[in-house]
Amino acid sequence: MSYDFGIKKLAEVTPSNETPFLIEGLVHRTATMIYGRPKAGKSFVALSAAMALGEGTEWLGREVEQRTTLLWALDPGQEDETLQRFKTANGSDTSHLYITGVRPEDTDEWWAEFTDILLANGVDVLIVDNLSALLGRGSYNNDSDVRPALGRLQALLNEDIAVVLVHHAGKFNEEQGSQKSPMGSTAIEAWGRHFVQVTDDQELRILRVYGNNTPEKELGIALNFNGEGDDGAFVTLIGEEETVAMSAEHDELVARAKARWDSRKDKQKKQGRSPEQKAKADRNRGTDHASQIKAYMSKSPGDWIKQGTITASVPGNSAVLKSALDAMVGNGSLETKTQGRSNLYRLAS
């Protein structure tokens, strides 16, 4: 095989020693999404992470290397509000955390200039708060509105600028999104490499963390809106644990998977959706169709009737009715012939 275009044997690849995270297990060096319901505290969590990155201080028990970080505050009045929160949390004057409230324009020229400015100023991390405001008049439920914006953020990733995107979570029975996933178009979740879902349980906040490079886990934190925190601005780590057994023993993993399989099959059976039940129902439907076809054609005994007339007059899917007609011809209940492009049937004499 030719070895052009970087093609090589997988066994010959030299592994990278670089961690995929800027903050281990929490903020990815490419695309991270922090999402949650309104008032869950996702913007406070994002600002706390931004302050840790800008100052190079520990965050939720993880060491953090100082990075030039830009917070893109897109809601009206958010720039002033964020400054007040920064001061409340005693943000450092030596922090490499910057902010802008500029509104994006929907042109390639604007985004190219914006990207050049970020690169010229050595921005390592862009925190976008939030996707809804970034889209402007667009809707995050529409692929056609979402994909151009996500594509422009992807262009920043291609320049090695990490992007943290703040977004909303869905709610139960909402048209698009669910309580456990980002709201809107599936393109949104497909864009992310790493996710931090923020939910609230009174004083306790739960960070559900999952992605391509880490086992799913939950972190419990206290979120103090007055700025105090033992493990970063506003945040104090209460506890954490893995919630998916990526490191479980093989036999344990197989046993849990089998239990899920058995539970799934039992549920299908109770709901009448097992393969055996479906097959029986299909057979019953076939018998019903045959009886219905015979009853309809008995009104005109001896007449040849077009297939289209039969399928239009007898209830049921036309493909299923055609299968029933073929079966009836096979068992001798019907006779058939062709006339031009039409199939004709009549009751067997």
Least-confidence region, from 198-202, 247-251, 316-320: 247-251
Tens digit of each residue's pLDDT (9 = 90 or more) over 124-144: 999 999 999 998 887 888 888
On whether both 115 and 204 belong to a single domain, the answer is yes
Alpha carbon of residue 216 to chain centroid:
15
On whether both 243 and 283 belong to a single domain, the answer is no
Domain membership of residue 330 (yes or no) is: yes
**Per residue, what are the HEC states of the chain?**
CCCHHHCCCHHHCCCCCCCCEEECCCEECCEEEEEECCCCCHHHHHHHHHHHHHHCCCECCECCCCCCEEEEECCCCHHHHHHHHHHHCCCCCCCCEEEECCCCCCCHHHHHHHHHHHHHCCCCEEEEECHHHHHCCCCCCCHHHHHHHHHHHHHHHHCCCEEEEEEEECCCCCCCCCCCCECCCHHHHHHCCEEEEEEEECCEEEEEEEECCEEEEEEEEEECCCCCCCCCCCEEEEEEEECCCCCCCHHHHHHHHHHHHHHHHHHHHHCCCCHHHHHHHHHHHHHHHHHHHHHHHCCCCCCCEEHHHHHHHCCCCHHHHHHHHHHHHHCCCEEEEEECCEEEEEECC
Proportion of the chain above pLDDT 90, given as a percent: 59
On whether both 194 and 284 belong to a single domain, the answer is no
On whether both 206 and 337 belong to a single domain, the answer is no
Higher local confidence (pLDDT), 281 or 348 = 348
pLDDT-derived band at 177, boundaries 50, 70, 90: very low
On whether both 174 and 222 belong to a single domain, the answer is yes
Decide if pLDDT at 305 tops 60: yes
On whether both 109 and 204 belong to a single domain, the answer is yes
Decide if pLDDT at 247 tops 70: no
What per-residue confidence (pLDDT) applies to 176? 46
What per-residue confidence (pLDDT) applies to 2? 65
Least-confidence region, from 62-66, 197-201, 275-279: 275-279
Least-confidence region, from 114-128, 148-162, 238-252, 333-347: 238-252
On whether both 298 and 206 belong to a single domain, the answer is no
pLDDT-derived band at 173, boundaries 50, 70, 90: very low
* Structural domains in the chain (count): 2
Decide if pLDDT at 157 tops 90: yes
Domain membership of residue 172 (yes or no) is: yes
pLDDT-derived band at 5, boundaries 50, 70, 90: confident
Domain membership of residue 264 (yes or no) is: no
Query: What's 331's domain CATH number?
Result: 1.10.10.10
Q: Which of 201, 231, 247 is the last residue of a domain?
A: 247
On whether both 343 and 199 belong to a single domain, the answer is no
Q: Which of 195, 227, 247 is the last residue of a domain?
A: 247
Q: CB pairs under 8 A, 24+ apart, for 328-333?
A: 328/290, 328/293, 328/294, 333/290, 333/294
Higher local confidence (pLDDT), 56 or 138 = 56
Domain membership of residue 259 (yes or no) is: no
Domain membership of residue 257 (yes or no) is: no
On whether both 287 and 237 belong to a single domain, the answer is no
On whether both 159 and 121 belong to a single domain, the answer is yes
On whether both 90 and 18 belong to a single domain, the answer is yes
On whether both 232 and 295 belong to a single domain, the answer is no
State the pTM of this model.
0.70
Decide if pLDDT at 162 tops 90: yes
Domain membership of residue 1 (yes or no) is: no
Domain membership of residue 267 (yes or no) is: no
Query: What's 228's domain CATH number?
Result: 3.40.50.300
Q: Which of 196, 229, 247 is the last residue of a domain?
A: 247
Domain membership of residue 260 (yes or no) is: no
Averaged pLDDT score across all residues of the chain: 88
Range of the domain at 143: 14-247
